[in-house]
Amino acid sequence: MSVSPDSATAVRAAADAAGESGRETLLSVRGLRVSVADGSEVVHGVDLDIPRGSAVGLVGESGSGKTLTCRAVLGLLPVGVEVTGGEISLRGTELTALPAAKRARLRGTDLAAVFQDPASYLNPSITVGAQLAEVLRVKIGLARRAARYRAVELLHAMGLRRPTHVYSQYPFELSGGMLQRVLIAMSITAEPELLIADEATTALDVTVQAEVLELLTELRRDRGLTLMIVSHDLAVISQMCDTVHVFRDGSIVEAGPTRRVLRVPRHPYTRELIENHERFGIDRVRKQRSQQ
Amino acid sequence: MTALLDVSELHVALGRGRKRTEILHGVDLTVAPGEIVGLIGETGSGKTTLARAVLGLVQAQSGTVAIDGREVTGLRGGALRAFRRSGTVQYIFQDPLRSLDPERTVFDTLVEGLVVRGRAELQDAALGVAQLVSLPLDLLPKYPGELSGGQRQRVAIARAIAVDPRLLICDEPVSALDASTRITILELLLRLRESRDIGVLLITHDLGSLGGVADRVVVLYHGRVVETGTTEEIFLAPRHPYTRLLVTSVPSIRDEEPPDPELRRALRDEVRGLAATSADSADIPQITGA
């Protein structure tokens, strides 16, 4: 077990952040443990508090447990991987105790997610519009024609130009950035409160990434959507999130307001991540300039 | 100093008949020995076509590609095969698993390009390049499937280095790797250019990743070089609207405020305007510094 000496401070920092903003906690994760099929534990007691309307970042390298934590929250762990301890509560409702069917109903209406590779979540032989309209019919019970109308509206709201044309296109006809917008449209159809974006912009060109991040920021501002952003990229977290949780080997080693954590990192691993980030990349050049 | 790679006024068209489309509209680019030049462009900008033209894999319509003062554009048949076999230019792909033979051990992969001289000499050569790229020697008898992504990329680089190339073309060499592995591979490239005076053309869609790596950056947009300059010039004082759009799109941990969406929207519209006109005219402004 590797509960780091800093995890107690981390919890306090997160609680302070929530307290300062005076916002109600939407999602609370306490002591979450996740184990894989052979019994070995991969997430070792993670605590997270997500205030309503906030944007919370989970950062760490691959294998750090950030994605499994999200999947546990969604109730979508891979086969053989299960929650072996802790609590996940959404507005006070304990999720881990809910039967699978009830949890499935929460997905889409209360919490939703978008992932790295949008094309793999769409049926290649059905137009994206028809797939979006299906979600509208199943999740909020719209009639066929109303669903179609609302789908075009949503595509337009996602910043897609010529939404009626996009509606009738197949996934292979759209770029990665357009597909991610379609997936975001699907994920918010039933107006969930929490959207989890797990490396949602990692595979996109930088200019497209910037547009998708902007869209998420708008959704947060205009619809009060709460965001949980999972990324290996400190800069994306820095741009998007109020608070950040740094994951390493299945534990949170540091958490707190993003600006504080990135400027005055307390845990050596956070310092290492920042140093690595600034070793190469645009931030290295900017750092050199600021030191001159 | 003569350039190691000198691409001049290169036009390349792909496809046949009515589908024939010009991809590169007069590209100029140089790489000096020991220089790392970043080639940045979005999907479809022509950067991979340019790399393929340098390798002699696609024919130029007009313009020249010269390596070490020797023109390769016009090579055909036996002369072209001899050029490729010489190993002067080596190519590193994004996904090393696909470019490595799954049924060949690391050792056999490393020596496959060497003219056979004898077991002892091959052994020396393999050990030499493995050490150069910091590849643990106990990996030599293993197969690519048994290695991590970073180890595979090291094998791909070691194999390329083994034939003593003058120019390495790296096509998104670290895009598929984890942050810490990415650093070790980029540091390796920096070391190789020091120790072997190899020129590197580093192709990427991620402008940000070139900081601290590339000496100069060449920005390709719709088949044209729209701006070149030192990495500092491009990052800190970009001039072409497309370059400015790129730079303002890269998130930074040092930004007090997120990049201004209004500014980016204005740049995006300007750049889209350029793209719309580029189909029938050559009016994308070009900016050349350094």
| Contacts (Cβ under 8 Å, ≥6 apart) of A240 | A55, A57, A213, A216, A217, A227, A229, B258
Determine the pLDDT at residue A154: 93
CATH 3.40.50.300 given to domain B5-88+165-229: yes
From chain B, the residues in CB contact with A286 under 8 A are 235-236, 252, 254
Cα gap B124→B45, rounded to integer Å: 42
- Of A170-174, B36-40, B264-268, the least confident: B264-268
- Domain spans of chain B, in order of start: 5-88+165-229
Whether B217 has its CB under 8 Å from any CB of chain A: the answer is no
Determine the pLDDT at residue B73: 84
Residue B284 pLDDT > 70, yes or no? no
Residue B240 pLDDT > 70, yes or no? yes
Find the residue in B nearest to A236 (Cα).
Answer: B251
| Interchain CB distance below 8 Å, B231 and A285 | yes
Tokens of A244: 């950040």
* A206-221: average pLDDT: 90
* A63-90: average pLDDT: 93
Determine the pLDDT at residue B285: 65
Residue A10 pLDDT > 50, yes or no? no
| Closest Cβ opposite residue B251 in set A238, A287, A289 | A238
* B37-63: average pLDDT: 90
DSSP string, chain B: ---SEEEEEEEEEESSGGG-EEEEEEEEEEE-TT-EEEEE--TTSSHHHHHHHHTTSS--SEEEEEETTEE-TT--HHHHHHHHHHTSEEEE-S-HHHHS-TTS-HHHHHHTTSPP--HHHHHHHHHHHHHHTT--GGGTTS-GGGS-HHHHHHHHHHHHHHT--SEEEEESTTTTS-HHHHHHHHHHHHHHHHHH--EEEEEES-GGGGTTT-SEEEEEETTEEEEEEEHHHHHHS--SHHHHHHHHHS--TT-SS---HHHHHHHHHHHHHHHHHHTT------EE--
Q: What is the pLDDT of residues B25-46, one digit of tens each?
A: 999 999 999 999 999 988 888 9
| Interchain CB distance below 8 Å, A213 and B186 | no
Residue B258 pLDDT > 70, yes or no? no
B256 pLDDT band (50/70/90 cuts)? Answer: low
Determine the pLDDT at residue B201: 96
Whether B69 has its CB under 8 Å from any CB of chain A: the answer is no
